[in-house]
């Protein structure tokens, strides 16, 4: 019984020693994390205020970028990405102070992936704006066509660019990269074949006239 009591007391003492030794580390890690959360919140608000000052959402809405609810607007998404990037950046030293190497490894992987998400969002924003601009340019340039045909060509142009943008976003995120490459190749081939058939059928008479004109000159 004496040995059991001695062992139990020694275990409790060892546990208390470890707990007392860990408390300063826990407090230090908590302070680092709180500082990171405060800085992250400030940067998030700065991004939102900068977006309001530059009227980014109004610009995107003007050029037909798909709109979302206020809490999931494009600038809110970018601001949240910045916020979580900073938080995870401060979580790394926190995990190190707390002696959690496995969590440190996972956080490093997440930290390396977040820039891909940021770039993907930027690609989507710029791509959808470019798609709308291309639509307007094609619509204004197709003066020789009927209004319905001009609108159809402009819509096809816009949707083709939108599909390219979506594929680029998926590729940036690393979502089924091989499948995205296959879809991209297939989409390009489809456009090439459809364009060839359309121009081939629509330009038969013009091609015939050109060939006849060449024949007459040769004679």
Q: What is the pLDDT of residue 188?
A: 64
Choice between 141 and 80, residue whose per-residue pLDDT is larger: 80
**Model's pTM, two decimal places?**
0.63
Q: Does the pLDDT value for residue 159 go beyond 70?
A: yes
Q: Is residue 189 part of a domain?
A: no
pLDDT (mean) for 60-87: 74
Quote the mean pLDDT of the chain. Answer: 75
Q: Is residue 19 part of a domain?
A: yes
Q: Does the pLDDT value for residue 203 go beyond 60?
A: no
Q: Is residue 204 part of a domain?
A: no
How open is the CA angle 129-41-111, to the nearest 5 degrees?
Answer: 70
Q: Is residue 196 part of a domain?
A: no
Q: Does the pLDDT value for residue 58 go beyond 50?
A: yes
Number of domains present in the structure of the chain: 1
**Full residue range of the structural domain in which residue 62 is found:** 2-175
């Amino acid at each position: 019984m004496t040995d059991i009591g001695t062992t139990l007391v020694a275990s409790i003492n060892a546990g208390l020693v470890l707990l007392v030794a860990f408390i300063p580390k826990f407090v230090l890690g908590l302070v680092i994390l709180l500082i990171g959360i405060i800085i992250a919140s400030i940067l998030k608000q700065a991004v939102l205020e900068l977006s309001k000052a530059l009227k980014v959402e109004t610009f995107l809405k003007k050029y037909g970028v798909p709109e979302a609810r206020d809490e999931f607007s494009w600038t809110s998404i970018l601001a949240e990405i910045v916020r979580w990037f900073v938080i995870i950046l401060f979580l790394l030293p926190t995990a190190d102070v707390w002696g959690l190497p496995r969590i440190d490894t996972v956080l490093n992987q997440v930290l390396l992936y977040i820039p891909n998400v940021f770039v993907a969002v930027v690609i989507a924003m710029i791509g959808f704006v470019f798609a709308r601009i291309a639509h307007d340019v094609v619509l204004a340039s197709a003066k020789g066509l009927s209004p319905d045909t001009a609108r159809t060509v402009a819509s096809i142009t816009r949707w083709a660019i939108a599909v390219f943008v979506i594929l680029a976003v998926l590729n940036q995120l690393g979502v089924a990269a091989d499948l995205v490459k296959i879809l991209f190749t297939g989409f390009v081939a489809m456009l090439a074949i459809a364009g060839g058939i359309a121009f081939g059928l629509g330009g038969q008479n013009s091609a015939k006239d050109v060939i006849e004109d060449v024949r007459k000159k040769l004679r």
